[in-house]
Amino acid sequence: MTKDIDHARLAIILNDLRLPAIKHGWPAFAERADKEGWPAARFLATLAEHEIAERDRRRVERHLAEARLLPGKTLDSFDFEALPMVSKAHVMAICAGDSWLDKGANLILLGGPGGGKSHLASAIGLALIENGWRVLFTRTSDLVQKLQVARRELALEAAIAKLDKYHLLILDDLAYVTKDQAETSVLFELISARYERRSTLITANQPFGEWGKIFPDPAMTLAAVDRLVHHATIFEMNVDSYRRRAAIDRKQQGAGRPPNFATIKNVGALSRRDNQPET
């Protein structure tokens, strides 16, 4: 019976075994097992399952805290109806992660400001964390500044290697990196270091043909695009800005007119090698 158990000694043993969930939860499970007459195997399995579930919950909490995702940006709150050619099923397949993150494949979201790129990128990151992957979301300019500091301290290689713990690195707003040799060179080194090893998600306002505005050297531009597009899924989200559309809708509704709904021009996924998306 549970009353005959040395609770203090059991707590010490469970601490030594690093089983905190069982330590705190076993009395309730033991009481229920006594009342319902559980066999020993069921009681043991229930405790083990409880420990695993709690470990998974704590892991997700830790990974969410370190990911720095945009608050409130989920797949449920993403307006797929405003982007009718973005397949929700395709996005959900991407969120499983196992078919592309293990291969170091990339995901690129292209389109004008306010088209939902950052929302979708953060929502995908959230879903991946819930499925057991590690993700970091950062503005590209912020990360580049940190890498520049690391370079000045002769620690750039170590700083880039530290990012390897993330299965997916989300670089938001690539366009806002200034066309400066120091900034773009560390960005290129990051892209090169993760190539075919770790996955990167890029959001950018410009199509690839305008990336010469980001990288000052044409050869560096070509090499960066080459590494990112190889083994990549690309979504071209060329839609009116959500923010601009919402403002127009409010104005029209205030004047008694129906809201204006934008249509998507083109959404596609491709791989440079075989023209098929890798999800």
Strand partners, 109: 203, 235
The three-point CA angle 167-235-205 to 5° equals 95
Average predicted confidence (pLDDT) for the chain: 84
CA distance 11 to 6: 9
Confidence band, pLDDT 50/70/90 cuts, at residue 127: very high
Residue 77's contacts (CB-CB under 8 Å, 6 or more residues apart) are 119, 123
Instruction: List residues bridging with 172 in a β-sheet.
Output: 139
Q: What is the pLDDT of residues 155-199, one digit of tens each?
A: 999 999 999 999 999 999 987 776 667 778 899 999 999 999 999
> Order of strands across the sheet with 106-110?
135-139, 168-172, 199-204, 106-110, 232-236
Helix 218-229 to helix 181-194 angle (10° resolution) is: 30
Tokens, residue 277: 């998306």
pLDDT at 139: 95
Contacts of 115 (CB under 8 A, 6+ apart): 237, 238, 239, 240, 241, 242
Q: Provide the pLDDT for residue 247.
A: 52
The pLDDT value given to residue 254:
57
Cβ atoms 234, 204 nearer than 8 A: no
> For the chain, what percent of residues have pLDDT higher than 70?
82
CATH class of residue range 68-254: alpha beta
Query: How much is the pTM?
Result: 0.76
Parts of the chain belonging to CATH 3.40.50.300: 68-254
Average pLDDT over residues 134-149: 94
Convert the pLDDT of each residue in 63-98 to its tens digit: 999 999 999 999 999 988 888 767 899 999 999 999
- Other CB atoms within 10 A of residue 147 CB: 22
Residue 130 scores a pLDDT above 60:
yes
Q: What is the DSSP letter of 231?
A: T
